[in-house]
Amino acid sequence: MKKMSVVNLDKLLDDFSHIEKKISELHGENNHLTLQLEKANKLLTISQSQEESAKEECATLQNMIKNLQQVIENQHHLRDENERLKNTACMLEEKVKTCKQEYESQIDRLVKEIESKEEEHKLEQKNTHCEMNKRLETKEEEHKQLIEKKDLEISELTRQLRDQEKEKENEIIKLQIEFDAKLTQLQNRTPKPRPDPSALPQNIYRRKLQHLQEEKNKETEVLRNTIRDLEQRLSKGQDVHPKRWQI
């Protein structure tokens, strides 16, 4: 039994070695097949990609063919449309020529009307200026007469003021003479001066003279203010004197 076991072991080792060799060969073949399979898969992927590209290119070419067919059809339609548009353009050109002639005729007519209106306006403006100048001349004459009238009023008031001043001065002189005469009479009658009797007449005459002087000053001031007011009115009227219209 021990001998048989030894023999079997050697054979087993030989068989194992043979099996290992076969396994190694199988592994080598398997690796080789795996590489070939990977290459085949890669070629299959490339073929599929090329097939997809070819399909896309084919679809693109089909679309291009359809588009070209549509373009050809459109060109046929465009030829008809082009002919129609040419005819329409010719008709429009004729209408444009007719409208242009009418427009030029209207422009000539309007230019003539404008020139006529300008002449009428110039004539109307000239007449208006003449009328305004006449009115201004009338106003100037009226203003001149008014100034002369005011000048006469000022001269008259000035004369009245001088006359009143002379009258007041004469009256004051007369009262002064009367006062001096009364004072002389009182002094002659009374040898010695008495303050109370003599002071009373002097005060009365002085008050009367003062009152007359104040009235004179008031009247003089009123007349002067009147003259000043008239002069101011005249100066304002001369400042706003209207100018003549110039044609």
User: Would the pLDDT of 79 be above 50?
Assistant: yes
User: Would the pLDDT of 88 be above 80?
Assistant: yes
Phi-psi region of 193 (alpha: psi -120 to 50; beta: other; left: phi over 0): beta
- Tens-place pLDDT, residues 167-186: 877 877 887 787 777 777 76
pLDDT of residue 205: 61
pTM as predicted: 0.32
User: Would the pLDDT of 240 be above 80?
Assistant: no
- Distance CA(33)–CA(163), nearest Å, equals 158
Long-range contacts of 209-215, Cβ-Cβ distance < 8 Å, separation of 24 or more: 209/172, 209/175, 209/176, 209/179, 212/168, 212/171, 212/172, 212/175, 213/168, 213/172, 215/168
User: Would the pLDDT of 202 be above 70?
Assistant: no
User: Would the pLDDT of 150 be above 60?
Assistant: yes
Band of pLDDT at residue 237, cut at 50, 70 and 90: low
